[in-house]
Amino acid sequence: MGQFVLPDLGEGLEEAEIVTWHVTEGDHVVTDQPLLSVETDKAVVEIPSPSSGRIAHLFGNKGDIVKVGAPLVEFTEGTEPDTGTIVGELGREEHPPAAGISPQPATGQPRVFPAVRALARKLDVDLETVEATGPGGTITRADVERAAKSMPESGSTEPMRGMRRAMAQRMTAAHAQIVPATVTDEADIDDWPTGEDVTIRLVRAIAIACKAEPALNAWYNSTTGERRLIPRVDLGIAVDTEGGLIVPVLRNVAERNVSDLRAGLDRLRTDAIARSIPPEELRGATITLSNFGMIGGRFANLIIVPPQAAIIGAGRISPRAVAHRGQPAVRRMLPLSLTFDHRIVTGGEAARFLVALKSDLELMS
């Protein structure tokens, strides 16, 4: 019987969470028919069938984390893959797991009987924290009950899923790889016309600053030690959603007019909040904007996601007493934070970028 495995969904992802199955065992499916939806890289993605045939077995349940290359579906004999539409691989499992026992992952995680897994869910016990004492590294009922008794009386733990799991992985990678440094300043925007679009002005200013100092609009491959300066500005826009942070990409911002940028930004925000944004629109940012001031805060030490070299933060706009044309005045000020990867960006390059950014923002229109 042929097995269809979880395909590589890009961006170096190693796993995905099963959101829902669209088929059941015994169903006959056709090529490209949706088999299941998985959540990964901050988006929900449908996985289509690579071929026509009848489903013999489904691997995994809703909420399970599946590694790339792990089996998802087993087809009956005789399925004919359509080589033009396959997104995974069909292979054979040399040693199928014993009936009633979850297969032991290659990572050496313990085996768990379905009844024990159900008990762990009932007692709100995270199986990853349970010490296995059963034969062959199996987690027993006693193991789960012992773990439940040792849990604090108040509060509960929950495994990191979906977007929050992806965020944890990305932030861990960023902390391990990048040497961050931050410079800050404030832009005087008191002369802006009433109703000015703050986010679009920031987008335009970032494009101008990237042209003035290209070193910030770059990717760095730490493995090869190669820096790539990118002529086109593809701006990641951090969007705060109920499920976590999503960063869709607004493409080629330097060559688009204001109305086109606003329409594109509105579409990305709507899709991100609805969790329907295509995965390709979450990839390839050359630099990122976090307009966290819409919520609160003035300055921030932000996190750069590799392979990018910089991220800009816009703080809360507020009236402040400043010197204006040699006299004290109360002006509307926009706090700016620029965090850059000091391995490949010098302090001078970062400062020149910030000066260009501030200068464009301080224009009247």
Domain assignment present for residue 143? The answer is: no
Answer yes or no: pTM beyond 0.75: no
Q: Is residue 297 part of a domain?
A: yes
On whether both 225 and 317 belong to a single domain, the answer is: yes
Q: What share of the chain is helix, strand, coil (3-state, %, to 5)?
A: 25, 30, 45
Residue 254 lies in a domain: yes
We report the CATH number of the domain holding residue 38 as 2.40.50.100
- Residue 117 counted as domain residue: no
Q: Round to whole Å and give the CA distance between 166 and 162.
A: 6
Cβ-based neighbours of 242, under 8 Å, separated by 6 or more = none
| Per-residue pLDDT at 246 | 87
What pLDDT score does 135 carry? 77
229 within domain boundaries: yes
pLDDT of 84 reads 36
181 and 76, same structural domain?
no
Domain assignment present for residue 148? The answer is no
Number of folded domains that form the chain: 2
pLDDT of residue 1: 54
Is there a domain that residue 112 lies in? no
Residue of higher predicted confidence among 276 and 258: 258
For position 201, which CATH number holds? 3.30.559.10
Q: Are residues 184 and 64 in the same domain?
A: no
| Model pLDDT for residues 73-102, shown as the tens digit of each residue | 999 865 444 433 333 333 333 333 433 344
pLDDT band at 51 (very low <50, low <70, confident <90, very high): confident
| Local structure of 112: helix, strand or coil | strand
User: Which of 61, 91, 121 is where one domain is finished?
Assistant: 91
Q: Decide which of 65, 91, 117 is a domain's last residue.
A: 91
> Tens digit of pLDDT for each residue in 7-36?
877 656 778 888 889 999 999 998 888 899
Higher pLDDT, 117 or 255: 255
Domain that holds residue 320: 163-361
Which pLDDT score is estimated for 138?
84
Examine the domain organization and report whether 214 and 336 are in the same domain: yes
Last residue of a domain, one of 37, 65, 91: 91
Residue 9 lies in a domain: yes
Evaluate if residue 182 carries a pLDDT over 80. Answer: yes
Which residues are CB-neighbours of 71 under 8 A, at least 6 positions away?
3, 4, 5, 6, 59, 93
